[in-house]
């Protein structure tokens, strides 16, 4: 089996001071990548900051013979994002890989959720991806190469009680991936998204202890490493992973029903009467771009 290597590649892993991000940083470095270990070093709810989290991971990488540089900026500001990319460019000359992983939680049921709970989650997860990816994308475009992995969640894909802020922000990352896959296509920039399940401080009080002990972050790492590699040529895909389970989730469009002839008015009753066909996912398929959606409508109407 040929080994997947990252010699001469420069990777940024956000939130790499703990949990999943730490495993990505360690594994990429062990396979030859020069890694920027970004971590704000704050608490689970986004408060506070510190340098220890990133420093300890850099130390561990260096002890094992790898190359790494620490960065302590928050992903949640434009300035922070620029600085993270600057750390990579100043230290190693470029950016080939970005893993958007930094995350916090501020769970509350919808009616109890404050504006601050909403904004902080969006700032870290969704705006954070923008802040980091925009300057990184410029470098990747200039070099004609990039591998981006975003992190959504099953809460973002399917919903979860008490996480309106997190569900919405994590779904937003799918939209960002869809766009970057399209805009990155001609520059060999591939962007994919994972929905992991792993034991970490974010999940310690939401999982039963037995499951928590089994869900080691290292079970997610191999997928992320492959997605970051040159060998991966797929883009715009969403992957579920945890405990050895790897599968795809996809947004699909079904043929549904055609009502009327495109000229006469359509009534609500006609929609009601076709409801089982309209809601059926039979023969559903993903559509590559919005242009393909219009072509698909044309095809169905012809």
User: Which parts of this chain interact with ligand NAI (CB under 6 A)?
Assistant: 14-15, 17-21, 38-42, 44, 46, 53, 74-76, 101-104, 124, 128, 151, 153, 196-198, 200-203
Q: Where are the alpha helices (DSSP H) in 200-257?
A: 209-214, 221-227
For the bound state, the minimum distance from the C-beta of residue 204 to ligand NAI, rounded and expressed in Å, comes to 9
In the complex with ligand NAI, the residue whose CB is nearer, 100 or 145, is 100
Tokens of 186: 């001609």
CB of 196 to ligand NAI, least distance (A): 5
Give the shortest CB-69-to-ligand NAI separation in angstroms: 15
Q: Which is nearer to ligand NAI, 94 or 216 (CB)?
A: 216
Nearer Cβ to ligand NAI (135/145): 135
What is the rounded distance in angstroms from the CA atom of residue 144 to the CA atom of residue 185?
10
Q: What backbone phi and psi angles, to 5 degrees, belong to 9?
A: -95, 145
Closest chain position to ligand NAI (CB): 19
Shortest reach from residue 48's CB to ligand NAI, in Å: 9
Distances in Å between the Cα of 175 and the Cα atoms of 26, 128, 156, 228 are 29, 14, 11, 20
145, 166, 187, 296: which one is catalytic? 166
The structure tokens listed for 256 are 């549904």
**Distance from the first to the final alpha carbon of the chain:** 49
Question: Closest CB to ligand NAI among 21 and 145?
Answer: 21
- H or E segment at 300? helix 290-301
Residue 217 falls in which region: left (phi positive, over 0), alpha (psi -120 to 50) or beta: alpha
Determine the Cα angle at 195 with ends 156 and 211, to 5°. Answer: 105
Question: Is position 92 annotated as part of the catalytic site?
Answer: no
Structure tokens at 262: 């495109």
Residue with tokens 């790492």: 221
Nearer to ligand NAI, 87 or 145 (CB): 87
CA angle 106-192-105, nearest 5°? 5
How far apart are CB 19 and ligand NAI at their closest, in Å?
A: 2
Strand partners, 35: 11, 68
- Which residue has 């894909």 as its token pair? 157
Would you name the residues annotated as active-site residues?
166
């Amino acid at each position: 089996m040929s080994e997947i290597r990252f010699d001469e590649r420069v990777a940024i892993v956000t939130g790499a001071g703990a949990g999943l991000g730490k495993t990505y940083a360690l594994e990429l470095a062990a396979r030859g990548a020069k890694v920027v270990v970004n971590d704000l070093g704050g608490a689970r709810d986004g408060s506070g900051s510190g340098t220890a989290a990133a420093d300890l991971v850099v130390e561990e990488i260096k002890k094992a013979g790898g190359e790494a540089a620490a960065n302590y900026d928050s992903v949640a500001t434009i300035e922070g994002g620029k600085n993270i990319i600057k750390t990579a460019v100043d230290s190693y000359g470029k950016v080939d890989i970005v893993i958007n992983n930094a995350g916090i939680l501020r769970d509350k049921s919808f009616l109890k959720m404050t504006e601050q709970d909403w904004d902080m989650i969006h700032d870290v997860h969704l705006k954070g991806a923008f802040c980091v990816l925009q300057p990184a994308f410029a470098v990747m475009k200039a070099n004609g190469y990039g591998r981006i992995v975003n992190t959504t969640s099953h809460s973002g894909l399917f919903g979860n009680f008490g996480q309106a802020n997190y569900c919405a922000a994590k779904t937003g990352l799918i939209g960002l991936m869809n766009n970057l896959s399209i805009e990155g296509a001609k520059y060999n920039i591939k962007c994919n998204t994972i929905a992991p399940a792993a034991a970490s401080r974010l999940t310690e009080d939401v999982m039963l202890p037995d499951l928590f002990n089994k869900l080691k972050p290292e079970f997610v790492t191999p997928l992320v490493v492959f997605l970051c590699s040159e060998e991966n040529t797929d883009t715009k895909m969403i992957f579920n992973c945890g405990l050895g389970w790897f599968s795809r989730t996809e947004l699909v469009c079904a043929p549904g029903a055609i009502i009327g002839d495109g000229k006469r008015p359509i009534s609500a009753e006609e929609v009601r009467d076709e409801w089982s066909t309209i809601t059926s996912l039979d023969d559903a398929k993903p559509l590559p771009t919005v242009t393909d959606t219009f072509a698909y409508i044309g095809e169905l109407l012809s």
